[in-house]
């Protein structure tokens, strides 16, 4: 297929991937069509299909874009531990980390939903995901947390995974789901749910990864 004339490939691909992110805010994933994405990205359908021949390849590329963003988030969260550990206790920093992780995931609900959708479609996470994203992130967590907490690499890897899975689950619950989990009325969720979940995840983070030195 011939590349569309007068196109900047990188800018065009970014425009398409950004359009996917915007549409995920308002559209159910199964109903997200290539035509709608092309219209949102302000490119022709032929241009879109030149770079992404089908919807599956586009959704996978969008998810990879999200994973690249999570690396920056990972470094920001773990970097804050390194930066502040001299002035504050490790356990206090870990409590704060749990809440920050939850808030960050809530802001990325649309990508979590896409990840779940694609994992269900293919039956599991891919080996490429495990090798390119999961393993390096766990290695980075071990490199930061092991000297700060005195915990083993195995403890840290399992603890981080447990924390992330739990935070992701809370972040993707809708209002009624949070109400059931917290034992409150749905109308109370906007005022109380996030603070309670953040406090719980903060204590969970401290319990799973707290200082053992």
Give pLDDT tens digits for 148-188: 999 999 999 999 999 999 999 999 999 999 999 999 998 98
pLDDT in tens, 180-205: 999 999 898 888 899 999 999 999 99
When pLDDT is averaged across residues 95-108 and rounded to a whole number, the result is: 93
Contact 181/173 with Cβ under 8 angstroms?
Answer: yes
CA distances from 53 to 61, 81, 212 (A): 12, 43, 52
When pLDDT is averaged across residues 29-41 and rounded to a whole number, the result is: 92
Is a pLDDT exceeding 80 seen at residue 62?
A: yes
Contact 91/194 with Cβ under 8 angstroms?
Answer: no
Neighbours of 146 (CB within 10 A): 14
Question: Can you give the pLDDT at residue 80?
Answer: 86
Question: Can you give the pLDDT at residue 38?
Answer: 95
When pLDDT is averaged across residues 207-211 and rounded to a whole number, the result is: 92
Question: Can you give the pLDDT at residue 124?
Answer: 65
When pLDDT is averaged across residues 91-104 and rounded to a whole number, the result is: 94
Question: Can you give the pLDDT at residue 3?
Answer: 58
99 or 123: whose pLDDT is higher? Answer: 99
Q: What is the mean pLDDT of the chain?
A: 89
Question: Can you give the pLDDT at residue 5?
Answer: 53
CA distances from 187 to 70, 179, 180, 184 (A): 32, 8, 12, 8
Rounded percentage of the chain residues whose pLDDT exceeds 70: 95
Tokens of 141: 């967590």
When pLDDT is averaged across residues 54-69 and rounded to a whole number, the result is: 91
Question: Can you give the pLDDT at residue 84?
Answer: 85
pTM of the predicted model as reported, rounded to 2 decimal places: 0.83
Is a pLDDT exceeding 90 seen at residue 133?
A: no
Question: Can you give the pLDDT at residue 4?
Answer: 61
Question: Can you give the pLDDT at residue 166?
Answer: 96
Is a pLDDT exceeding 80 seen at residue 126?
A: no
- pLDDT category, 212, cuts 50, 70, 90? confident
Contact 202/98 with Cβ under 8 angstroms?
Answer: yes
């Amino acid at each position: 297929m011939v590349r569309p004339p007068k196109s900047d490939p990188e800018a065009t691909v970014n425009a398409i991937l950004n359009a996917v992110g915007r549409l995920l805010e308002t559209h159910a994933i199964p109903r997200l069509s290539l035509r709608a994405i092309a219209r949102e990205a302000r490119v022709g359908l032929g241009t879109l299909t030149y770079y992404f021949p089908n919807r599956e390849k586009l959704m996978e590329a969008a998810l990879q874009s999200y994973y690249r963003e999570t690396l920056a988030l990972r470094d920001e969260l773990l970097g804050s531990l390194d930066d502040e550990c001299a002035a504050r206790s490790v356990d206090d920093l870990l409590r704060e980390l749990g809440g920050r992780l939850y808030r960050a995931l809530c802001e990325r609900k649309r990508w979590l939903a896409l990840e779940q959708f694609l994992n269900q479609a293919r039956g599991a996470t891919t080996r490429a995901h495990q090798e390119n994203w999961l393993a390096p992130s766990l290695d980075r967590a071990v490199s930061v947390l092991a000297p700060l907490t005195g915990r083993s690499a195995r403890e840290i890897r399992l603890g981080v995974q447990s924390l992330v899975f739990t935070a992701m689950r809370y972040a993707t619950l809708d209002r009624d789901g949070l109400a059931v989990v917290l034992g409150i009325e749905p109308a109370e969720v906007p005022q109380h749910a996030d603070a309670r979940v953040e406090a719980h995840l903060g204590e969970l983070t401290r319990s799973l990864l707290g200082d053992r030195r």
